Structure 1
Amino acid sequence: MNNNPKWSDTALSRESKIQDAIKCLDETGLKIVLVIDGSNKLIGTISDGDIRRGLLSGLQLDSGVHSIIHKNALVVHPELSRESVLQLMVVNKIQQIPVVDGDGNLVGLHLWDEVTVIEERKNLMIVMAGGFGKRLMPLTESCPKPMLPIAGKPMLEHIIERAKADGFVNFIISINYLGHIIKDYFGDGSRFGVQIGYLEEENPLGTAGALSLLGEEIDEPFLVTNGDVITDIGYGDVLNFHERHQADATMAVRLYELQNPYGVVRMEGTQIVGFEEKPVYRSHINAGVYVLTPRCLRFLTPNQYCDMPALFETIRERQKKVVAYPMFEPWLDVGRPNDLDLANAGLNKKSIHSE
Structure 2
Amino acid sequence: MKAVLLAGGFGTRMKEETEFRPKPMVEIGGKPVLWHIMKLLSAQGIKDFVICTGYKSEYIKTYFANYGTANLDFTVRLGHPDSIVYHGSHDEFEWTVTVVDTGLETMTGGRIKRIQEYVGDERFLCTYGDGIANVDLNALVAHHESHGKNATLTTTQLHSRFGVVDVDSDGNVSQFREKPMVNDLVNIGYFIFEPQVFDYLEPNSVLEQEPLRNLANDGQISAFKHSGFWQPMDTQREYQQLNEIWNSGDAPWKIWK
Query: Of 64, 72, 89, which aligns to 1:186?
Result: 64
Structure 1 residues 265 and 321 mapped into 2: Cα distance closer, same or farther (>3 Å)? same
Query: C-alpha displacement at 1:171, in angstroms?
Result: 0.8
Structure 1 residues 189 and 291 mapped into 2: Cα distance closer, same or farther (>3 Å)? farther
Report the counterpart of residue 141 of structure 1 in structure 2: 19
Query: C-alpha displacement at 1:166, in angstroms?
Result: 1.0
1 CA distance for matches of 2:141 and 2:124? 8
Q: Is the 8 A contact 2:53 2:103 kept in 1?
A: no
Structure 1 residues 146 and 244 mapped into 2: Cα distance closer, same or farther (>3 Å)? same
Q: Does 1:285 align with 2:183?
A: no
Query: Of 216, 241, 248, which aligns to 1:342?
Result: 241
Query: C-alpha displacement at 1:344, in angstroms?
Result: 1.2
Structure 1 residues 274 and 222 mapped into 2: Cα distance closer, same or farther (>3 Å)? farther
Report the counterpart of residue 251 of structure 2 in structure 1: 351
1:1-355 aligned within 5 A: 123-187=1-65, 192-216=93-117, 218-258=120-160, 261-264=164-167, 280=180, 281-302=182-203, 304-317=204-217, 319-348=218-247, 349-352=249-252
Structure 1 residues 263 and 328 mapped into 2: Cα distance closer, same or farther (>3 Å)? closer
Query: C-alpha displacement at 1:164, in angstroms?
Result: 1.0
Structure 1 residues 309 and 351 mapped into 2: Cα distance closer, same or farther (>3 Å)? farther
Q: Partner amino acid for 1:321? A: Q
In the alignment, structure 2 segments of 5+ residues that lack a partner are: 69-91
Report the counterpart of residue 59 of structure 1 in structure 2: none
Q: Partner amino acid for 1:173? A: I
2 CA distance for matches of 1:236 and 1:141? 37
1:105-140 residue CA offsets vs partner (Å, 9 max, x unmatched): xxxxxxxxxxxxxxxxxx111000011111111211
Q: Is the 8 A contact 1:131 1:144 kept in 2?
A: yes
Structure 1 residues 283 and 180 mapped into 2: Cα distance closer, same or farther (>3 Å)? same
Asked which structure has the greater CA Rg, the reply is 1
In the alignment, structure 1 segments of 5+ residues that lack a partner are: 1-122, 267-271
Identity of aligned residues (%): 25
Q: CA RMSD in A?
A: 2.6
Report the counterpart of residue 41 of structure 1 in structure 2: none
1 CA distance for matches of 2:171 and 2:52? 54
Aligned pair count reads 224
Q: Is the 8 A contact 1:209 1:300 kept in 2?
A: yes
Structure scoring higher RCO (CA < 8 A, sep ≥ 6) equals 2
